A and B are shown apart, each in its own frame.
Chain A
């Protein structure tokens, strides 16, 4: 369980990082590494190039913008969890972060990394979706591109981010309405078997489709065809997500 050979790059500016991504076809971005490094250690990912953005300037800021909160690419999940700004503007994000793995993982893992990794059972993509947030992707050739949450997630761990793009920022709108997030996982901190998140009258579900999905609060599971695995059959997932949707809608 040791990483395979790769060429390591450690850019110090966003431009430099984007130039590297534009140059190398088979490059992976290393931010928090809490998802990528296990894949390297299992040799399930074998990128030729690793672009480590941890020394890039200007990517560690949380700030208020356009009535919401923007989280730059290197902001650790723990910093978002502890941020008074996030707690004030978007407390749903604070609640959701606490469901992400464990504190030691959150000390290193990044919000943008979770969004880019796009695990269908993870919380943050669903939060971005239910809030109608967006991400900003930067590339050498096309500059900044804003991708709405409804346009970002395309499949299991697949997004519309291009290989030469770096997600520099995620933006979560403020929330004043009722909100709630609830999930079922086998152990505390595990990926969810199923989850539901509510923002006002909007409901998003996760763990029950290849991407997080917006659902009709009146009939949350309509059209869903979840996959099965060792811990949940499609039928059990539908059952759970109905229970969870009821819970968050009652909150």
Chain B
């Protein structure tokens, strides 16, 4: 393999159409110019209530209304939606139904589905829907969930969906013998991903072809396809699911099935017309899964040098009203608390509790920002108690480069145990401190430091199809969609290197089951590891095939051939070769030449070898399908450090300098990775100081708009300075690790430490705000 493209700052191939306004997002879809019916979901205004009655008669009679569905109108109305990731510890998993008909358990739970000529009319009709509710007691914080004065589900005692205890070593004994012990309590509130494009679904049923076509802003079109095929009793080949351009995902779009993902295709099949549903921003705030709500009780035992000897973490995960995503989030937190540090004795318990809030599933970082917060704040507390430099305490606890593979001893989200494959944590720390430089002069300035590891690239697998066309151009496809991560560019880089072609000659499709029906999805920082390696595998197979076909024609040994500049040629004799397109012609013996040079593959053209044109084991076409299934996660890592200033009167935060040293193994495209990090850090700053989900005691989200949910503008986000180190992953051929979530993980821990130092008050919770700081300074907890 040449590495002409791998590692280069290749500018994105996606940009041109997106910049011209020619992107195609789900709400833009208008196949065949046939205007889709538009729809609206009437949602519960109560966090917990019994439905006494639903009356849709007035709405149904409204002109422009085409159909109205309640649970009673659906053949699958009484079916619980699937638990996506069952787990033995999830003893009391509960999922919602497509439309609620008996009890609603969060504000935003869908109750009635309205299809009308347009969205304006559908919203008018929603005004006419009468649902009578009997309010029930509301459970809204993780603490209240665990306290269980009221139950979210009558048949789930204590509101506990799952409990899991893990232990490495012997924590009680190690705590008892530790020279010093400290108890700490850390709280993290819920946060929201808030992609700029909310969710959308468009569906059409073709009666003549018996084919269902669905456009969906999902992170997993292949899973949606599988589910729709099962639900409607169709062969998968009759269901096409396309995630077209998706306007940011950040996790919640991996959740399936949101009710609309079933209702829109169902209505399209029922009504014989295309139907679409486009979520508005207001409903997005409560309809789309959230994350991050956790409270942690920590006890740490350490020696006089600041070395951690034992760590006990007992935490509650706010799971929301249902557990469709299983217990992946608390499993990740439990596994990731120790981070890059040696924790010889580690005990962790979590309880995943129900509350009357929107269900949870991963949001960029997924259990890790809180895990990192727990560990980093604990190390800061140890440093403070011992009067040591915070960096020094970290240095003394870091796992060393010669300790890999490093087995942590706890369970990982893919069913394996956590084993760190490679890394160089001390170098991350040293480089971050060096890049951060001396402390700026002035009062009320604080420094924060945070390190993390991130298990990336989970399985089970992804695949890719790569084909060289007779023109010499290359098309490649994978099942996973992009939400802005530049897949079309980086996959093209991988394929171009394998085939010796220009990156602009490779056209990539992702997330379209018509082009590639197998695969899992884009989540958990797994795209580059899984699909990237699958691209390399498939393109490598194509290259091998090209060498074999060309070898016959060039009368050379395949091993002596190389793919360079769009040609297959003999090493050392660049003139002896043929264009890749010509090889593609020969790969497909034809009876009828159809242009493009295909006469060379007809029956009277010269043939280099005896026997049938297609011999045993051979397949036509210069193409291949390849898969990559990782043996386990590969572990990225990094170190962030910052200086901040906090105005002691207004409590306005100014980030003076923010540096990131990042290790995601071999970097395919630094431009893209840096963009991921810059965006991740910004999202972290938003989650740490601006955004929160402000639920009141009634379970109402009080800030469900961009006016009050304070996603930062450019004026709130500082410049981020980034350097990379590369410790290649030994687990995959490309040596890559995931990079999508890294930016966000340590930001809360870093800012908390910096603000704590700037103001001299202990910070044990996220998010912060000027108001919160004002109150902490007034009466430190």
- Give chain A's interface residues, CB within 8 Å of chain B: 1-5, 38, 42-43, 184, 186-190, 193, 230-233, 236, 239-240, 243
Min Cβ gap B423→A in Å is 37
Check A231 against B771 for contact (C-beta < 8 Å): yes
Does chain A have a CB within 8 A of B17?
Answer: no
Q: Which B residues touch A240, using CB under 8 A?
A: 650
Residue of A whose beta carbon sits closest to that of B715: A188
List 12 interface pairs A-B (beta carbons < 8 Å), by A numbering.
A1-B123, A2-B119, A3-B120, A43-B123, A184-B770, A186-B690, A187-B712, A187-B716, A188-B715, A189-B715, A230-B708, A231-B769
Query: Given that A1-B281, A236-B774 are contacting pairs, would A186 and B120 also be in contact in the complex, using a CB cutoff of 8 Å?
Result: no
Give the docked Cα–Cα distance between A188 and B713 (Å).
Answer: 8
Q: Which A residues touch B690, using CB under 8 A?
A: 186-187
Does chain A have a CB within 8 A of B652?
Answer: yes
Residue of B whose beta carbon sits closest to that of A102: B713
**Per-residue CB proximity of B245-280 to A under 8 Å, as 1/0?**
000000000000000000000000000000000001
Give the docked Cα–Cα distance between A187 and B682 (Å).
Answer: 14
Check A186 against B715 for contact (C-beta < 8 Å): no
Give the docked Cα–Cα distance between A243 and B690 (Å).
Answer: 22
Residue of B whose beta carbon sits closest to that of A242: B649
Check B771 against A236 for contact (C-beta < 8 Å): yes
Query: Given that A1-B282, A2-B119, A42-B282 are contacting pairs, would A186 and B650 also be in contact in the complex, using a CB cutoff of 8 Å?
Result: no
Contacts A2-B119, A186-B710 known; list 20 others, CB within 8 Å. Answer: A1-B123, A1-B281, A2-B123, A4-B127, A5-B124, A186-B690, A187-B710, A187-B712, A187-B715, A188-B715, A189-B713, A190-B707, A230-B708, A231-B769, A231-B770, A233-B775, A236-B775, A239-B774, A240-B650, A243-B650
Does chain A have a CB within 8 A of B702?
Answer: yes
Give the docked Cα–Cα distance between A190 and B708 (Å).
Answer: 9
Give the docked Cα–Cα distance between A42 and B123 (Å).
Answer: 11
Check A184 against B652 for contact (C-beta < 8 Å): yes
> Could you say which of A43, A186, A239 has the most chain B C-beta atoms within 10 Å of its C-beta?
A186
Does chain A have a CB within 8 A of B229?
Answer: no
Q: Which B residues touch A184, using CB under 8 A?
A: 650, 652, 770
CB under 8 Å from chain A, chain B span 688-739 = 690, 692, 694, 702-703, 705, 707-708, 710, 712-713, 715-716
Check A2 against B120 for contact (C-beta < 8 Å): yes
Give the docked Cα–Cα distance between A233 and B770 (Å).
Answer: 11
**Interface SS majority for chain A:** loop
Q: Which B residues touch A193, using CB under 8 A?
A: 770
State the 10 A-B residue pairs at the shortest beta-carbon distance, nearest first.
Answer: A188-B715, A1-B280, A2-B120, A243-B649, A236-B774, A230-B694, A186-B710, A2-B123, A184-B650, A236-B771
Give the docked Cα–Cα distance between A2 and B703 (Å).
Answer: 19
Min Cβ gap B283→A in Å is 8
Check B716 against A188 for contact (C-beta < 8 Å): yes
Min Cβ gap B248→A in Å is 19
Give the docked Cα–Cα distance between A3 and B649 (Å).
Answer: 42
Give the docked Cα–Cα distance between A236 and B651 (Å).
Answer: 11
Give the docked Cα–Cα distance between A5 and B124 (Å).
Answer: 8
Min Cβ gap B27→A in Å is 13
Q: Which A residues touch B769, using CB under 8 A?
A: 186, 231
Min Cβ gap A165→B in Å is 28
Q: Which B residues touch A233, using CB under 8 A?
A: 771, 775
Q: Which A residues touch B694, using CB under 8 A?
A: 230
Q: Which B residues touch A42, using CB under 8 A?
A: 282, 705
Give the docked Cα–Cα distance between A243 and B715 (Å).
Answer: 22
CB under 8 Å from chain A, chain B span 750-768 = none
Min Cβ gap B105→A in Å is 24
Give the docked Cα–Cα distance between A205 and B716 (Å).
Answer: 25
**Per-residue CB proximity of B551-567 to A under 8 Å, as 1/0?**
00000000000000000
Q: Which A residues touch B703, using CB under 8 A?
A: 230
Min Cβ gap A1→B in Å is 4
Min Cβ gap B126→A in Å is 10
Q: Which A residues touch B715, using CB under 8 A?
A: 187-189
Residue of A whose beta carbon sits closest to that of B126: A43
CB under 8 Å from chain A, chain B span 647-694 = 649-650, 652, 690, 692, 694
Give the docked Cα–Cα distance between A178 and B535 (Å).
Answer: 68
- Of the candidates B124, B281, B775, the one whose C-beta lies within 8 Å of that of A4 is B124
Give the docked Cα–Cα distance between A188 and B652 (Å).
Answer: 12
CB under 8 Å from chain A, chain B span 382-441 = none
Give the docked Cα–Cα distance between A121 and B634 (Å).
Answer: 51
Give the docked Cα–Cα distance between A3 and B712 (Å).
Answer: 27
Q: Which A residues touch B650, using CB under 8 A?
A: 184, 240, 243
Min Cβ gap B716→A in Å is 6
Q: Which A residues touch B280, using CB under 8 A?
A: 1
Min Cβ gap B707→A in Å is 8
Give the docked Cα–Cα distance between A193 and B281 (Å).
Answer: 24
Give the docked Cα–Cα distance between A190 and B282 (Å).
Answer: 19
Q: Which A residues touch B692, using CB under 8 A?
A: 230
Q: Which B residues touch A2, using CB under 8 A?
A: 119-120, 123
Query: Given that A184-B650, A240-B650 are contacting pairs, would A190 and B710 also be in contact in the complex, using a CB cutoff of 8 Å?
Result: yes
Q: Which A residues touch B120, using CB under 8 A?
A: 2-3
**Per-residue CB proximity of B116-140 to A under 8 Å, as 1/0?**
0001100110010000000000000
Q: Which B residues touch A186, using CB under 8 A?
A: 690, 710, 769-770
Residue of B whose beta carbon sits closest to that of A189: B713
Give the docked Cα–Cα distance between A187 and B653 (Å).
Answer: 11
> Could you say which of A3, A4, A43, A236 has the most chain B C-beta atoms within 10 Å of its C-beta?
A236
Residue of B whose beta carbon sits closest to that of A191: B707
Give the docked Cα–Cα distance between A190 and B649 (Å).
Answer: 19
Q: Which B residues touch A1, using CB under 8 A?
A: 123, 280-282
Give the docked Cα–Cα distance between A187 and B685 (Å).
Answer: 13
Q: Which A residues touch B716, using CB under 8 A?
A: 187-188
Give the docked Cα–Cα distance between A109 and B690 (Å).
Answer: 26
Query: Given that A187-B712, A189-B713 are contacting pairs, would A232 and B649 also be in contact in the complex, using a CB cutoff of 8 Å?
Result: no
Q: Which A residues touch B652, using CB under 8 A?
A: 184
Residue of A whose beta carbon sits closest to that of B279: A1
Q: Which B residues touch A3, using CB under 8 A?
A: 120
Give the docked Cα–Cα distance between A231 and B127 (Å).
Answer: 32
Give the docked Cα–Cα distance between A43 and B770 (Å).
Answer: 32
Q: Which B residues touch A239, using CB under 8 A?
A: 774
Give the docked Cα–Cα distance between A37 and B775 (Å).
Answer: 36
Min Cβ gap A102→B in Å is 8
Q: Which B residues touch A231, using CB under 8 A?
A: 769-771
Min Cβ gap B444→A in Å is 14
Min Cβ gap B59→A in Å is 15
- Of the candidates A187, A232, A243, the one whose C-beta lies within 8 Å of that of B713 is A187
Residue of A whose beta carbon sits closest to that of B38: A2
Min Cβ gap A130→B in Å is 21
Min Cβ gap B708→A in Å is 7
Give the docked Cα–Cα distance between A130 and B634 (Å).
Answer: 63
Min Cβ gap A237→B in Å is 10
Give the docked Cα–Cα distance between A43 and B690 (Å).
Answer: 27
Min Cβ gap A26→B in Å is 17
Give the docked Cα–Cα distance between A5 and B123 (Å).
Answer: 10
Give the docked Cα–Cα distance between A193 and B771 (Å).
Answer: 10
CB under 8 Å from chain A, chain B span 597-647 = none
Give the docked Cα–Cα distance between A1 and B40 (Å).
Answer: 10
Min Cβ gap A185→B in Å is 10
Give the docked Cα–Cα distance between A239 and B650 (Å).
Answer: 8
CB under 8 Å from chain A, chain B span 504-550 = none
> Could you say which of A1, A3, A38 has the most chain B C-beta atoms within 10 Å of its C-beta?
A1
Min Cβ gap B509→A in Å is 33
Query: Given that A42-B282, A184-B652, A187-B690 are contacting pairs, would A232 and B771 also be in contact in the complex, using a CB cutoff of 8 Å?
Result: yes
Q: Which B residues touch A189, using CB under 8 A?
A: 713, 715
Min Cβ gap B776→A in Å is 12
Min Cβ gap A55→B in Å is 24
Give the docked Cα–Cα distance between A93 and B523 (Å).
Answer: 50
Min Cβ gap B284→A in Å is 10
Min Cβ gap A193→B in Å is 8
Give the docked Cα–Cα distance between A230 and B704 (Å).
Answer: 12
Min Cβ gap B502→A in Å is 40
